[in-house]
Structure 1
């Protein structure tokens, strides 16, 4: 899919789920190696995407963010993660999306978020979760066959 299709799918899923977390204006920036976009839902939760220069297809999307200590900001992060899974893998049912979140350690009571670094693959899409002191939680979706 291209960035416009991604935005449309993300916003459709947000509307379907009665969420205000929508992508209002996705601006693609031309780069020498790849094109990118950056979008901030809040001051602390953003999205960075990379785009194949040759065909305009979305290569990967990463959600970066730190909650502000409120349940609302934590819920926003998890909501955006689930929306990203739903848009990048529309054939998955809600239970499958929940299984991905479980495999990444989000529901593990013993999970040390400071050492989080897990990934799982569904239908050719690799989902990864890790933690950075500087950026907070990093959640990404990208082509599982792509070499980094």
Structure 2
């Protein structure tokens, strides 16, 4: 009886392509908010952090690739795996810029201080490993 119920339950929820779509919408959609913020307010803050590290300020525009272009591609399912790797790389850079000192800390609510960075990093890696699935605009070899 229990086995039958669990088998039926599992079969009902076995929609891998829909799950991939939900993951793409969550990772790409939530990151896109960060990118739109930078489109509206500019990348001057990031440019300042880069120059403080001795790096050229123009690199700050790369954040628009990682936080606007890559999430849009992920959401649409176009060049999904490469776009997800770009997003994951962007999170590594973000961690190196602002998160290394927070790696072993909790925030005011008890959450891991780099929780958002890790969510986007691991989520992007999951998208890169899983691909876009059937519900994507990209051709099968680029999903």
If the length of structure 1 is used for normalisation, what is the TM-score? 0.27
Structure (1 or 2) with the larger CA radius of gyration: 2
If the length of structure 2 is used for normalisation, what is the TM-score? 0.28
Determine which structure has the larger helix proportion and give its number.
2
Determine which structure has the larger strand proportion and give its number.
1
